[in-house]
Chain A
Amino acid sequence: MVYSNALDTTEAKGLLATEDKMHAIFQLLKANVFRSRSTLSVILLQLDNYPTTFKKTVEKDITQFLQSRIRESDILIKLSTPSEWCIFLSPSGEEEATAFIQRLFNSREDKETILFQCNEISFSAGIAEIGNSQAALDEIFHSARKLFSKQKESWTIEFVNTYKVKEVEKIRVSIIEDDNIFQKVLLLALTKLPLKQFKLDIQTFSDGYEFLQSDWYRSSHAHLIIMNDILPKKNGFEVLYALRKLPNSKRFITFMMTKKKVEEDMLYAYENGVDQYLFKPFNLRLFEAQVKRVLSRLWS
């Protein structure tokens, strides 16, 4: 039985694009992956079992159904290959995409979802998380189809992991500390920090003035700044104020080190954009864990 216009009452949420625009859209979303540090998920949805008659009508119903289930930020494309749809979930990782597909698959049990109640159809899904710029859409589809051909059951989710690995991102780090020995301790702690996704490019400064005189902070890289509140010429608060006045100042992640537990200073610093406070003396392992945590949160 075929039920056309099954979704009359359901509003379409996401964008329905045509296949000829697909590669251009993918290029755009892929470029944003690195810039916005948020992953993109590509889903290839294949219909395993469907009635041979009224095929076009069923496909139309499915397209309408899928469009009603995706978010406003997602894009749905009906592929020219029979019974295949591509969905771009942006920004979403593999886990979010899996949850989305499972919700979709679970709706076959839902009596109110007329599409599954009226048609004996089944799907398979392939999910690819895109974390780097090397990803190619045709390769993803090819890998997913290969995996589909090997599977024995419908309603299965396959994962294409080829492009999941994120590109190593260069992070600038500035240590502004007037105690030369501790400056070196921090340098060594950060140099030896095991980070898969980031490469730290570290420079040390003995004073805020020396830092602000350098061109080091004038780059588009994410920039981690670890500085003392009290410094000989320009102190940490002055550096903070100068940085927060710059355009795109969100790229600066600031750690303020202090010996004084003065709440007024802390309030002032937090209100002016300090991200973390470190009270001297502090545990180096704790410092390393905080740096790791802050960097890991750069990617969503």
Chain B
Amino acid sequence: MMYLSIELLIRIIVVLVVLLICFGIYVAINGLRENYRNKGKTTYLDAEQENWYTYFSSAGEISESLIPKTTREIQGVEEIFISYLKNVSDPTIKEKINQFSNKYLREHYLTLLRSKKWSIRINGLKRIANFEIECLEECQKFKGKNTSKEENFQLLKIFSFLNRENFEDELLNRSTGFSEYEFKKLFVSIDEELLGRIITNIEDLPKAGQYAFIDILGSKRDMKYLDFLESQLLNEHQEIRIRTLKAIHSIGVVRELEKYIDFVKSPFWEERLMMAKLLGNLPLNETASHFRVLLEDESWWVRSQAAKTIGKDKDGLDYLKNFSKTTGDKYAMEMANEILLNGGN
């Protein structure tokens, strides 16, 4: 057993109390400093929000009071701009934000880019990407191993408007290690012309990029991507084919059923499941025989989806009634009856 003298114990306690007091004072001072700094931003926001609204909604000149004088005021302007860009779609407002940022904030962000701290550089890049600030030369200096994945992501967003000619090359060079989510975030932010150009180089992208690209095309719900998507139905990778079927289902147009027929008997249940959804885009009289196969599928998911899709058709309940009487598959019959019992849902 260890023995401590009372005197030593008191000394330890005193030291700890002193340390605690010092730490408390440090936290309090930091808190006060942060409050003081935030006060500058809050004061700017309170004073200028209405003036920004007036500037954005009228043809008037910019008022002197809107130009930020301190870093905190710049943060106030950033909050306002980001909120407008996120919530309001108006080309005039976007143009005004872009002009103001290039005139009054550009130097500030270039200073941030030169910082040795990653967190400061990334903030600068984010704002340059948000406000589309002209600084291609400075951004192109980010090369080599020292550029992080997050910086590359922001740089690609910046190059999508500042360096469009070389965007595909930049994408291939800078997207190493990107997750599917990061690819999606990038593709959702770029325009249709660039998307069209990526189509021709999609094979060069990593698999995560290809998956994300197909998902984004599906979310666009534009028939002009159908040619490309239909070509991907023959892709050797199962995941690409499944994503493609999903994307075509989102677009909601099946042009030539023959191109899809093989998927009804695909060895992969996920492909058959997507077919059970996709066939719902065609008249039931054209797809009835394929639905019969899908309703008698070995996978519960496929059978269930096929029955649900049929149930949504105006003649679906009659089809299911007839199917239920004629099928010899008791699982398929149960599924059909379940949908019939729920009135098609």
A185-B86 in contact (CB<8A): no
How many B residues are at the interface, by size bracket? Answer: 10 to 19
**Inter-subunit contact B87/A182 (CB<8 Å):** yes
Interface string of A272-300 (1 = CB under 8 A from B): 00000000111111000000000000000
**What is the interface size of chain A, counting residues whose CB is below 8 A from a CB of the partner?**
13
The answer to whether residues A283 and B89 also contact, given A185-B53, A188-B50, A188-B53 and a CB cut-off of 8 A, is: yes
Tell me the complex Cα distance, A281–B57, Å. Answer: 16
B90 touches A181 (CB 8 A): no
Shortest Cβ distance from B219 into A: residue: A261
Contact flags (1/0) for B71-111 with A, using CB distance below 8 Å?
00000000110011111111000000000000000000000
Considering only residues 157-205 of chain A, those with a C-beta below 8 Å from chain B are 179, 181-182, 184-185, 188-189
- Nearest CB of A to B91, in Å: 9
Contact with B along A9-32 (1 / 0, CB 8 A): 000000000000000000000000
CB-nearest residue of chain A to B93? A284
Asked whether B88 lies within 8 Å of A282 as measured between CB atoms, the reply is yes
* Contact B83 A181, beta carbon cutoff 8 Å: yes
CA distance in complex: A77, B90 (Å): 57
Report the bound CA distance from A288 to B88 in whole Å.
Answer: 12
Residues of chain A lying within 8 A (CB to CB) of residue B85: 281
Q: List the A residue with the shortest CB-CB distance to B87.
A: A182
Min C-beta distance of B326 to chain A, whole Å: 33
Residues of A within 8 A of B50 (CB): 184, 188
Return the chain B residue nearest A259 by Cβ: B86
Q: Is B49 part of the contact surface with A, judged by Cβ < 8 Å?
A: yes
Cβ of B83 and Cβ of A179 under 8 Å apart? yes
Contacts of A181 in B (CB 8 A): 45, 49, 79-80, 83-84
Instruction: Evaluate contact between B90 and A280: CB separation under 8 angstroms.
Output: no
Cross-chain contact of B90 among A179, A182, A284 (Cβ < 8 A): A284
CA–CA, A86 to B90, complex, Å? 54
Answer whether A282 and B89 are a contact pair too, CB < 8 Å, given A181-B49, A188-B53.
yes
Docked complex Cα distance between A188 and B79 (Å): 17
A184, B49: Cβ atoms closer than 8 Å? yes
| Bound CA span A16–B76, Å | 70
* A283 near B45: Cβ-Cβ < 8 Å: no
- Residues in B neighbouring A182, C-beta threshold 8 A: 83-84, 86-88
Chain A: CB-nearest residue to B79 = A181
A236 to B330, CA, bound (A): 44
The residues of A that contact B49 with a CB separation of less than 8 Å are: 181, 184-185, 188
Q: Distance in Å from the Cβ of B328 to the closest Cβ of chain A?
A: 35
- Whether the pair A281, B86 counts as a contact (CB closer than 8 A) is yes
B81 and chain A: residue at smallest CB distance: A181
Please state if A185 and B79 are interface contacts (CB–CB under 8 Å).
no
Q: Which chain A residue has the least Cβ–Cβ distance from B84?
A: A185
Q: Give chain A nearest CB distance to B25 CB in angstroms.
A: 32
- Chain A proximity of B44: nearest CB distance (Å): 12
Q: Is the CB of A281 within 8 A of B53?
A: no
Report the Cα distance A195→B236, complex, angstroms.
Answer: 62
Separation of A185 and B51 alpha carbons in the complex (Å): 11
Residues of A within 8 A of B90 (CB): 283-285
B residues near A189, Cβ cutoff 8 Å: 53, 57
Say how far A186's CB is from chain B's closest CB, in angstroms: 9
Q: Which residues of A contact B86 (CB under 8 A)?
A: 179, 182, 280-281
Of all chain A residues, the one with the shortest Cβ separation from B85 is A281
Within 8 A of A (CB), among B3-51: 45, 49-50
Task: For B80, give the chain A residue with the smallest CB separation.
Answer: A181
Residue of B nearest to A183 (CB): B83
Chain B neighbourhood of A282, CB < 8 A: 87-89
Question: When A and B form their complex, which 10 residue pairs have the shortest distance between CB atoms, in order from nearest?
Answer: A181-B83, A281-B89, A182-B87, A188-B53, A182-B83, A280-B87, A184-B49, A281-B88, A281-B87, A283-B89
Interface residues of A (CB under 8 A from B): 179, 181-182, 184-185, 188-189, 280-285
19 contacts between A and B (CB under 8 A): A179-B87, A181-B84, A182-B83, A182-B84, A182-B87, A184-B49, A184-B53, A185-B53, A185-B83, A185-B84, A185-B88, A188-B53, A189-B53, A282-B87, A282-B89, A283-B89, A284-B88, A284-B90, A285-B90
Query: Assuming A179-B83, A181-B45, A285-B90, what are 7 further A-B pairs, CB within 8 angstroms?
Result: A181-B79, A181-B84, A182-B84, A189-B57, A281-B87, A281-B89, A284-B90
